[in-house]
Amino acid sequence: MRLHRLEITAFGPFGATQTVDFDALSSAGLFLLHGPTGAGKTSVLDAVCFALYGSVPGVRQTPGASLRSDHAPVGTYTEVLLELTVGDRRLEITRRPAQQRPKKRGGGLTTEKAQTWLREYDPATGAWNGLSRSHQEIGEEITQLLGMSREQFCQVVLLPQGDFARFLRADAEARGKLLGRLFDTRRFAAVEERLADLRRVAEQRVREGDERLLALAHRMAQAADGLDAARTPVEGRPGEPGLAASVLTWAAVARTEAREALDIADARLAAAELRRTGARAALDAERDLAGRQARHADALLRRERIAGRAPERDRLRAALDRSLRADRVAPALALRRDAEREHATALAALARSRAQLPPDLADAGTAQLSALGDRLREELGGLEAARRAEHRAAAVAEERAALAREARADEDVLRDAADWLAGWEPRRARLTGHAEAARDAVARTEHLAGRLEPARRRLDAARRRDALARGAEAAEGRLAQARERRNDAHETWLDVKSRRLEGIAAELAEALDPGAPCQVCGSTAHPAPARTGAGHVDRAAEDAAYTAYTDAEEARTAVERELAVTRESWTAARAEARTGPDDDPAAADPTVEELAGEVEELTRLHADAHALAGQAHAARQALARAEREHEERVAAQRETERRVAARTSRRETLDRERAALDEEIARGRGAFATVAEHAERLERRIALLADAADTVRSAELADRRLKEADALLADAAYKEGFATPDEAADAFLAERARRELQDRLDAWQAEEAVVADRLAEPATAAAAALPPADPAAAEAAHTAAERALREADSALAAARERVADLAGLSRRATAEVHRLGPLREEYERVARLAALTAGTSAENERRMRLESYVLAARLEQVAAAATARLLRMSSGRYTLVHSDARSGAKRAGLGLHVVDAWTGNERDTATLSGGETFFASLALALGLADVVTDEAGGVRLDTLFIDEGFGSLDEQTLDEVLDVLDSLRERDRSVGIVSHVGDLRRRIPAQLEVVKARHGSAVRLRTGGDALSG
């Protein structure tokens, strides 16, 4: 990875855009990044990290911290652009963090989301091609290309100040955490955790199996209740050795005792069954005798009851016989009831019909009523023509009324059309004028708009002109002050420099050693060396005065640039505020008030013209609508006049038809108001006469049927032996009553037969001659035998169930023991591996965890790589070695010692001095960078940064350290040193200086003392 160019805008202490040309810096192989404290040296490194990973190093990535510069003007985006080469790809990354910006509409601020761009340079076309704008995609692409996380990058590329000194002196735990982050040994720690989890799972499975086995043993002890084995159950805890064998042995003994108890229960059940059989036979005999004796006694009692109910049986049989004879008279009775009901209905209908007839027709017969109805029908037929004429007359009246309504409506239409057409010409002229005025306003609006926008620009320019004039006056005042401060600082510096030159001899004399040659004359004798007097000025004071002078000079230059920019902007604004290029140059500049009045007047005129122009379309539409309405009204007037002429002809035709209809209606109406009333009266009288004739015929027919039914009923009652029809009706019984009566007679007859049969049975008669039976005693004996049998059967079932339960539980216990065998073997194997990787096993002599073992191998590689550089830095004195010795209760394998070649002793790195600690830490950092780079897949790291620590080195050691750093160019690397040490400025010609100022820091690139860019 090689850095080419870095652009920083509004980032950290940098308010304006700063550009760092790493190609110019890296060409020397070794370059210096220096500047005063707080100027922003570390912020340059933060910008590199932010461009690559979207965040700064973890130490400075505090919650709530903002990357935006407080010196940046509002509206300038915080942005970092980094151009670099990774492998054979040249990329450009641009990142903007989330930041506040002014709202585009209204006041206040709004949050701008973070943005990222990634582009790649195409050598074939010489163009940059955009690859992505997704944070996630760009982050994955950069991480994959570099092969390092942000933590690894910050540790091996941005070598942080103090971190490796702490790493050098840290204990094994702290050293292990750092190495674990850099080399990502999480997979080995995951192996340890996985084995520990497997051990816990296997142990839990074995424990659960033992618990299930003990639960089975407890259930077998419950099943063996009452046996000798139940008094000595298996006792033990999960995980104890021999538990399985104890459970299986106890189960075998319990099964043997259970089978013996089963044989005894089987014998007892056989004896109880024999006793129960004898008791059952005795009980059955007693019950049979008691039943036959009770049967004989019951038969005697029933015979006595039958004899006492004989009169009632004879009465019921006589009633049943009379009901059977009445059934043969029933058809005649039904016929007579139907005829009587029909006769009564006909008489009622006749009475109602005669009540509606005139008194002279109250006794009229069927013939008279029919003849009168025929005459009325002939009269009704003669009224048909008059009825049609009356209907037609009503239709003619409705049509004439409709014509009258249409005539009135047409009169209104004609009157309205005449009124509207009378005012048409003035209205058309008014609408035409309005449309033409709106059309003219459209052109006037465009003309005023063309004048309004330049006027507004001139007004804005005049306002800027006046503001810039005020700014120029203020800048001139600041320039005068800056010039005074610069002159004062220059005079002070010259005075201090002069005073130092005056005492330079004393300053050189302070460095004289007896016997050593003088730096000026070369003499080894120093008879009268000069002495420092009062008011002597040293080199530091002169440098401070010179720095103050250069700062004042830079401030003056900055104010001059600001004043020049302001004046240039004022000139441009003044020219823009004038009316145009043809204006007289000697004319006075227009004031803001004049231009504002002009803009206001043009705005008003433009608004009025625009408002009138906006009515052009509506005016055209109104004129078009009016012309269409004129055409429609003229057409409607002509159509109405045509309808009026046609209506007059139709009305005359209807008048002639109405006269003819009135004559026909007058003939058919007679004495009634209308023909319809006359016809309705005739229809009602015809209906009454027809109904009356029908009811007379029905009454005569019903009377004949009633007489015939009376004769038929009297003949049927006489034939069945009844004196009168009423007697036959009284003897009649309903079907249900007769069926109940017959059932009662049949039941008495069946009862007599059953009693006779029972008394004739030989067994029943013989039982009656024996002593009374005693079934209660036999029942008690049988119940006792049954209870004894149930007890024996329950005991046998319990013994069988116990044998089956013990057999089933024994099989389950045996299967559980067989299943637990592989689990115990797996647990022992996993537990041994887990203890080995966790460092708790006796087989692990150094008690090293797996992750520590891997990190120890990495630390050994780091120590070997660091020693190659440490030997040069320490002139062959020191060597870093890895130690796997255990210190107390801490982890082993991550020790780091230094071997002193002068003494031959190995000692702890904490015994190194400050300078020795620095170059040992630096060697360790470079070695770690090499190992991590190889671990990351061999990605070349062509640019490294080392942050501070060089001030603790003496001159010789500093030369050796710089030689080692300079040798990194053998691997085509460039190293940037971040330091305050002044001696490094003389030793390293390529420098990136960070200058601190009130309005934000700036960077300057220098090679050999010449400024290249700023």
Each residue's pLDDT tens digit, 84-100? 988 788 999 999 998 88
Residue 774: pLDDT band by 50, 70, 90 thresholds?
A: confident
pLDDT, residue 882, reads: 76
The pLDDT, as a whole number, for residue 933 is: 67
Question: pLDDT confidence of 82, banded at 50, 70, 90?
Answer: very high
- Residue range 617-621: average pLDDT? 80
Considering 19-33, 311-325, 395-409, 810-824, the range whose residues carry the highest mean pLDDT is: 19-33
Residue 296 has pLDDT above 50, yes or no: yes
| pLDDT higher than 90, residue 240 | no
How many angstroms separate the Cα of 893 from the Cα of each of 51, 181, 526, 605? 37, 17, 61, 91
One-letter amino acid identity for 807? A
Pairing of strands 115-122, 127-132: antiparallel
Q: What are the E-state strand segments in 365-494?
A: none
Residue in the structure block whose two tokens are 């017969």: 365
Residue 7 pairs with which residues in a beta bridge? Answer: 19, 81
pLDDT, tens only, 899-947:
888 887 888 777 777 667 776 777 777 777 677 666 655 456 667 777 6
Reply yes or no on whether the pLDDT at 733 is more than 70: no
Q: What is the mean pLDDT of the segment spanning 28-57?
A: 85
Among 153-167, 545-559, 970-984, top mean pLDDT goes to: 545-559
Q: What is the pLDDT of residue 276?
A: 80
pLDDT digits (tens, 9 = 90+) for 164-199: 556 666 666 666 766 666 666 677 777 778 877 877
Q: What is the pLDDT of residue 57?
A: 78
Q: Are strands 974-978 and 30-34 parallel, antiparallel or unpaired?
A: parallel
Segment 639-645 mean pLDDT = 78
Q: How large a percentage of the chain has pLDDT more than 90?
A: 4
- Taking the CA of residue 103 as centre, how many other CA atoms within 13 Å lie in the half-sphere pointing to its CB? 6
Residue 728 has pLDDT above 50, yes or no: yes
pLDDT at 506 over 90: no
Which helix (H) or strand (E) segment holds residue 473: the answer is: helix 424-502
Q: What pLDDT score does 83 carry?
A: 94
**pLDDT for the residue 581:** 46
The answer to whether residue 69 scores a pLDDT higher than 60 is: yes
pLDDT of residue 18: 92
Say whether pLDDT at 582 is over 50. no
Confidence of residue 301 (pLDDT cuts 50, 70, 90): confident
- pLDDT value of residue 502: 67
Distance CA 706, CA 725 (A): 15
Confidence band (pLDDT; 50, 70, 90) for 504?
low
- Asked if pLDDT for residue 357 goes beyond 80, the answer is no
Percent of the chain with pLDDT over 70: 80
Instruction: Give pLDDT, residue 1014.
Output: 35
Q: What is the dihedral of CA 837, 841, 844, 845, to 10 degrees?
A: 150
* Cβ neighbours for 794, distance < 8 A, ≥ 6 positions apart: none
DSSP 3-state of 122: strand
Task: Please check whether residue 389 is in contact with residue 678, taking contact to mean a CB–CB distance below 8 angstroms.
Answer: no
Alpha helices in 670-720 (DSSP H): 675-719
DSSP secondary structure string, 330-392? HHHHHHHHHHHHHHHHHHHHHHHHHHTS-GGGTT--HHHHHHHHHHHHHHHHHTHHHHHHHHH
pLDDT tens column, 195-218: 778 777 777 777 777 777 777 777
CA 59 – CA 233 distance, rounded (Å):
67
**What pLDDT does residue 93 have?**
95
The per-residue pLDDT of the chain, averaged, comes to 77
What pLDDT score was predicted for residue 1009?
47
The string of pLDDT tens digits covering residues 948-959 is 556 556 666 666
The string of DSSP letters for 647-664 reads: HHHHHHHHHHHHHHHHHH
**Which has the closest alpha carbon to 1005: 993, 989, 996?**
993
pLDDT at 737: 72
Q: What is the mean pLDDT of residues 490-504?
A: 77
Q: What angle do CA 440, 446, 447 make, to 5 degrees?
A: 90
Q: What is the mean pLDDT of residues 826-844?
A: 73
Residues 31 and 506: their CA atoms lie apart, in Å, by: 36
Model pLDDT, residue 792: 79
Determine the pLDDT at residue 64. Answer: 47
State yes or no: pLDDT of 28 exceeds 60: yes
Say how far apart CA 977 and CA 918 lie, in whole Å: 14
Q: How far apart are CA 891 and CA 849, in angstroms?
A: 8
463-477, 656-670, 940-954: least confident range:
940-954
Closest CA to 900 of 926, 914, 879: 879
